[in-house]
Amino acid sequence: MPDEQVTTTNGVAGEQQASESPAQSETVEKAQEAQSSEQSTEQSAGEAAVEKAQEEIRKLKLKIDGIEQEYSEEDVIKMAQMSAAAQKRFQEAAATRKQSEEFLNALKTDPLSVLSHPDIGVDVKKFAEDFLLKELEKAEMSPEQHPARLVHH
């Protein structure tokens, strides 16, 4: 077996530890070129796919406030999310407004029960006493002392 040449690799493509014949060296170079060519073809195909995807961004026509415009699918999704959030806030505001109107209506129609409610925290008897004292003071004032009274001639 003196004519045989032993070639070993350490497991990494292209790295040789023993001497090679010119034919073997050429074969290795062709294999490396083919591998390199495949990688560049895969990169080119990947880049082409990305470019094609960017070109094919889905556009949608929407009519908002009577004006028709074209939007990307991504923009439409963002607008839908913002719209849903805004709708929720409007509903919360409407509920708060309704509660305020109901409170004011109750205060106008039955102030005693509203003011004596534990959440309001008004001592109704003290409130009535203070109110009546102020009214007595106003009644005892002369027309010149009382700024709210207007004298009509």
Q: How confident is the model at residue 116 (pLDDT cuts 50, 70, 90)?
A: confident
How far is it, in rounded angstroms, from Cα 110 to Cα 48? Answer: 75
CA distances (Å), origin 88, targets 75, 84, 94, 142: 20, 6, 10, 57
Domain boundaries, the chain: 72-109, 111-143
Q: How confident is the model at residue 53 (pLDDT cuts 50, 70, 90)?
A: low
Question: Is the Cα dihedral 137, 140, 143, 145 positive or negative?
Answer: negative
For residues 49 and 96, which has the higher predicted lDDT (pLDDT)? Answer: 96
Q: Tokens 């004596």: give the residue.
A: 116
How far is it, in rounded angstroms, from Cα 30 to Cα 26? Answer: 6
Cα angle 27, 32, 36 (rounded to 5 degrees) comes to 150
Q: How confident is the model at residue 130 (pLDDT cuts 50, 70, 90)?
A: very high
Half-sphere exposure of 16 (CA within 13 A, CB side): 14
For the residues of 92-117, what is the DSSP string, one character each?
HHHHHHHHHHHHHHHHHH-HHHHHTS
Residue type (1 letter), 131: F
